[in-house]
Structures are given as C-alpha cells and as structure tokens.
Amino acid sequence: MSQSTTRASSAPRASASGLTRVYLLAYNAISFCLWATCVIRGAMLVFSLAPNGHLPAIFHHIYSPLLTTTQTLAGLEILHSLLGIVRAPVMTTAMQVASRLLLVWGVMYLFHDRGDGHGGIVGGDFHEALPYGPGAKVGDYAFLGCLGAWGVTECIRYGFFALQVWGSGVPSWWTWLRYNTFYVLYPIGISSECIMVWKALKPAAEWNPLYWWFLVVVLVIYVPGSYILYTHMIAQRRKVMKKKGRAE
C-alpha cells in the first residue's frame, strides 16, 4: 500500500542522541533529494517522450538504478523502527515499506519488457530515435501514476522530517501539504499499484502459479486495507490540524 502521509517513520524520539539526529537528518535529506530527482526527471521525460508515443521508454530511464535505489533505501525505516530511534510502530512501517518493495521488485522488475520478444506489462520502447513510438500500455500509465504519487508524497514527507530534525521549524504551508495532499495522491497511488498488480497476474501465472495466488491475495488485501488506511489518515489529519489551529 502507498505509504501514509501521517506515518512518523523518520521523526526522531525526543530522547534521540546528537549522532542519531545527524544520521536521521542525512537519511531524510538524501531520500528527499532522490525522490525529487525521480519526480523532476519523470516530468521532463513525459514532456519530451510522450508527445511522440515513446511513453514506455520512461520506465527504462527511471526504473534502474534510480527508482530501485530510492525505494530500496526506504527499507532502512524498518530498522529505524526496530531500533527505536523513531516513533513509528514496527508492524505498520514494515507493511507499508514491504508493499512498495513488492511493486518495485516483485512486479516491475519481474514483469517489465526486457526487449527479448516476450513482452511485459510496462516499458518496452527501445527505439526512441524513431519519429513515433508504439504508444503506451495500461501498465505504463500505472507506472507513471505510482511514480508521481510516490514521488510527490515522499518529497513532502522526507522534507518535513528533515526540517523537523534540523530544528528550524516546519513552515505552516509544508505542514498543510503533508496533511492534505494525500486526499488526491493516495487514491492515485493505490489505484495505480492495484492496476500494476492486476496486469501482472497473467505473466505471473505463466511464471509460477503459486506467485499468481500470492498476487491475488495481495489484491484482496489491498482493497479493504487501502480504505482502512485512507480513513485513518483522514482522522489523523483532523487531529493534527485541530491541534495546530489551537496552537495558533
């Protein structure tokens, strides 16, 4: 599932040491820069490649090593929670990070078009020099939905935590973005993720029937799970904004 904008996975505990704060500042700043690179590069590629039907080529420009490195780095958040240096619950953090890693490695990596004639659910345009490309598949649009929703959400989230750890205070407009943009970004992200998993079912069945069943279970969990998480985020948003209003 898309990571919650309300999850305090990278916010330090009040008792965190100076070294821990330096580490978390570096971690959040690096993550912010990586996600910002994903978003900016993705937007530039859309404007340059999409008009001529080369949208599938965007996947190959972004996926590896940029997106794989950026998202895999988030696995450290589970370790942060286990060690107790941040305030996030371990189980929630693990589930949210694992769902993203499943999409990046268990769907995009396994079932993208490698140009070997077997096709794939995403990517596959290896001739950008041609005046017109083959056009996009459903998976290509879903990939861009994931990239956009994940990227903007994480830029806001990691930037928020970096400022918080730095201690200079978080601007009110950044706080507003953190607790309001999920209304739009979460549905885009979760629907794009579900589409990616759905499109992966056919090649998964050919690759390994057990993996097909695993993805089916994932989809069954995604639907109610996304609704529960979405309503939880709305409740958390109300709590935070109400508290912020009183403070002002």
pLDDT tens track for 69-94: 999 999 999 999 999 888 888 888 89
Helix/strand/coil percentages in the chain, nearest 5:
75, 0, 25
Question: What's the pLDDT at 239?
Answer: 80
- SS3 for 81? helix
pTM for the whole structure: 0.90
**Residue percentage of the chain with pLDDT more than 70:** 89
Token pair, residue 27, equals 């971690």
Q: Which of 27, 154, 193, 222 is catalytic?
A: 193
* Range 57-69 average pLDDT: 96
Q: Which of 20, 13, 11 is nearest to 160 (CA)?
A: 11
Residue 62 phi, psi (nearest 5): -100, -40
Is the pLDDT score of 20 beyond 60? yes
Angle at CA of residue 7, ends 59 and 185, nearest 5°: 45
Looking at per-residue confidence, does 214 or 6 come out higher? 214
Q: Please enumerate in sequence order all residues whose Cβ is within 8 A of that of 133, keeping only pairs 6 or more positions apart, or say none.
A: 49, 52, 53, 54, 55, 56, 57, 125, 127
Q: So what's the pLDDT on residue 105? A: 98
Nearest CA-CA partner of 7 in 90, 72, 75, 98? 90
- Residue 12, pLDDT score: 64
Q: What is the DSSP string of 160-213?
A: HHHHHHHTS---HHHHHHHHHTHHHHHHHHHHHHHHHHHHHHHHHHHH-HHHHH
What pLDDT, in 10s, does the model give residues 34-45?
999 999 999 999
Residue 185 is predicted with a pLDDT of 96
* Statement: residue 4 has pLDDT above 60: no
What's 52's DSSP letter? G
Rg from Cα positions in the chain: 19
The residues, ordered by sequence, that sit 6+ positions from 174 with a Cβ below 8 Å of its Cβ are 156, 159, 160, 163
pLDDT at 1: 66
**C-alpha dist (Å) from residue 64 to 61, 69, 108, 216:** 7, 8, 11, 26
Q: Both ends of the chain: CA-CA distance in Å? A: 34
Of 186, 227, 230, 248, the active-site residue reads 186
**Catalytic (active site) residue 193:** yes
Q: How confident is the model at residue 6 (pLDDT cuts 50, 70, 90)?
A: very low
Higher pLDDT, 239 or 27: 27
77, 83, 89, 95 alpha-carbon torsion, rounded to 10°: 40
Say yes or no to pLDDT of 247 above 90.
no
